[in-house]
Structure 1
Amino acid sequence: MSNAAVDNVNVESAEILITPEQLKAELPLTQAAIDTVTESREIIRNILEGKDKRVFVVVGPCSIHDTTAAIDYAKRLKVLADELKDSLYLVMRVYFEKPRTTVGWKGLINDPYLNDTFKIQDGLHLGRKLLLDVTEMGLPTSTEALDPISPQYMQDLISWSAIGARTTESQTHREMSSGLSCAVGFKNGTDGGLDVATNALKSASQPHRFLGINESGQVAVIHTKGNPYSHIVLRGGSNGPNYDSVHVRLCEEALEKNKLPSNIMIDCSHANSSKDHNIQPLVLENIANQIVEGNESIVGIMVESNIGAGNQALNADLDLLEYGVSVTDACIDWATTEQSLRDMAAKISPVIGNRRN
């Protein structure tokens, strides 16, 4: 008897993908990459525990659409990271997946050729190769953990992960985060409220059991230990920005009330910059002032930055795309990135050694 009338009614086809094990065999970790990931994860953990007094900065393109430009950016960032290492610990933002409220380009893994062909297997290869290239430079990477399957393909090369405002409330993402190998930042809800994020932190810190895949691509029940290095990310909301000292204090109180570590990261983009990339340096300046004035809970910062400023629309002729300019959210350009981070490092450097004692 056929099940066609009731089974997979709206599924057109199913394409078998390479397994995580196979992809890792084709693009294996090198010792240089292992060293970068191991060291950077430990540094971020130490910052969250107050052992390392620096501020870690997740900075880079809103999304990766051109791996050549991404390598160009990474080389520039590595030089800056070495220059500012005494005050700021720089981590490159390497985002491959973009959440969509309705429709739109979903990122390099889903649509690597930016033409709705959805060659996901090619996207997995391109993404993993880029992560290898960047970590082999000695530069740590971060990404948004959006699809619950993709971490099996990429997580061994990631030093910090974000859970976005749209997915912080998701049970699936809270459970997944409890098993991720790196520290995880949960953004406040799109309304700017903190309850969703604080609940997520408590959930992710606990062991979970859920359906997923193993290295061989088999459906499996995943048993996690819980992730003790999750923290909140303030990104503003529909009620406006929340990076100022008043909102930071309210966040500290919420964390204390929920018996959570007072670790706060601030996203300089999104609602905190009113979606105007030109405001991001002003947010950075405000954060630096809070640190100089004695704030000890701000441990991390996010900045959307690219080679060129602003953003551009995707169109049918990809040759018309401007090099190094975002095709998703608008970013500050490289010159502004350098100046803003140098200014921040210079401002907070005198107080770094006295933080979180």
Structure 2
Amino acid sequence: MNQNTPDVAAPMPIDESDGFTQQRAYAGDVLYTEGMPCTHMYVVKEGVIDIYMMREEKRVVVESLGKGQCFGMTPQVLNGRRTNNAAARTYSELYLIGIETLDQEMNATPKFTRGMVRTLAERLAVAHELIATRVNYQPDVLVYAQLLNLLGMADLGRHKADLKGQQGQPVLASPALTDVFANARALLGHSDVHIRDSIGKLLMLHLIRIEDEKGNGKRVIFSPKDIVLQARKIASTHKDQGKLDYEYVNVDEFSALVDVDRSTLLRKLAGSEFAEDIFTFRKSEILRLLNDKGKKFFSDRKIKPPEEFTDISDIEFADQKSVFEAVSRCDTYDLAKLLSTIPEESVKSKILASLSRAKREEVEHDLATVGEVDAVEVLQIGKLIIGQVKHKMTQR
């Protein structure tokens, strides 16, 4: 399936005069997840929506829908629960049609038509499951190169060939084309049409050539030593590479990819600066921690020593005297700007409680009048204060 272009289908007619609710979604925004109750269906007014399923810890896109196409009605027709997930690939505008309206429309149709819709919904759910469980996460070019590598090494072994070849030339293997087809059917489960198409791709990319030996049939000629490396380079820019865009990475891998400290990423997640779908939680691990450590494990913050203080939220673990000494030197308007951006009430309360009465009243007055603040400036103010607190606590 093409991951970049929405499937072409007849658009669903929508009359804007009917007053349907509308919704905007930005790239990465999740509209619903598998198992959620169904409250409405959607029609794409503008943009592209990915319908996906989570299988083997991978996010598998089973459909990409564009303008005029509808989704989200299958659960209502079947069992009232979402059977897949939906997220915006691009900025999108959507019509929302409530289940009451959908029920009215369905009840107004003939019984035969309702039966057809139910059958189609059931078949769509089965098709999505098949796509999600059988999708190949490696491009076919690379998969078939790896298969040919194995067959080629076996072929050379039979002929006891020297892999270095003569005069530095790579040694070529020549397994029978019929053997390639037989092994692809047995190992990959592909049809002859799919196999022929994949071999054709390798041929067009000049990774192999096919020769017809009279009396011995057609043979595939290639270098087992080089074919996988060459295919891997091609696959890195191949259109099928999009299938790999939905693999999971952990926080440390994410941190390495974007070259940002993991604590910063987690703080930005806590501040709702990322679409929530960037982070996915393992249900089995959550249940294990719940059984081992109880609910308080998820609500109580880990106590940090001053050496680990990194941002203003860590002031919660500082002693009152160090906080007083740090904030007493800070400009009241700077404190007001900082407090206006802190979501944790416990942190705000600790800073205010560390001020003298007169200074606290001045900060509270500034806080009531402060407008939009510069995020970078506020970050610097917070780092300066927590740095002073950290210094004073480590010196004691």
* TM-score bracket for this pair, using the shorter chain length: under 0.3
TM-score (norm 2): 0.21
Larger Rg: 2
TM-score (norm 1): 0.22
| Structure in which a larger fraction of residues adopt helix | 2
- The one of the two structures with greater contact order (alpha-carbon pairs below 8 A, sep at least 6) is 1
